[in-house]
A and B are shown apart, each in its own frame.
Chain A
Amino acid sequence: MKITNPLIQVFRRLTQVSVILLVFGLIVLSLYGHYRESYAFDNLTIHTNPLMQWILSNIDSIVSKLDDPEILLDNFKGNLWSMRLFGLGISDPLAFLETMFSSKKIYLPLLLSILIPLIVTLIKGRVFCSWICPGYVLFELNGKLSRFFGFKHAAHSPLYKNKYIILIIGLIFAFITSIPLFPMIYPPALLSRLAHAWIFGTPLKSMMIFILIILSIEFFVYNRWWCRTMCPGGALYGLLGKKRLLKVKLDKSLCTECGICKKVCEQGLYPVTESEGIECDNCGVCIKHCQTKALFFELF
Chain B
Amino acid sequence: MDALSFKEVYKRFGATYALHGVTFTIPRKVVAGLLGPNGAGKTTSIKLAVGLLKRNKGEVEVLGFDPWREEVKARMKIGVLHEKPVYPPDVKVSTLLLHLAKLRGSDWREVKRVVGITGLKEYLNIKVKALSRGYLQRLGLAQALLGDPELLLLDEPTANLDPIARMEILELIKNLQKELNVTVIISSHILPELQRVCNYAVFIGAGRILDYGSMGDLASRYGVGAILKIYTVNPRLLASSLVQEEYVEAVEIHDSFLKVRTRPGHWRYVEKKALELGAERVELSTAKLEEMYKAVVKYAA
Q: A and B bound?
A: no
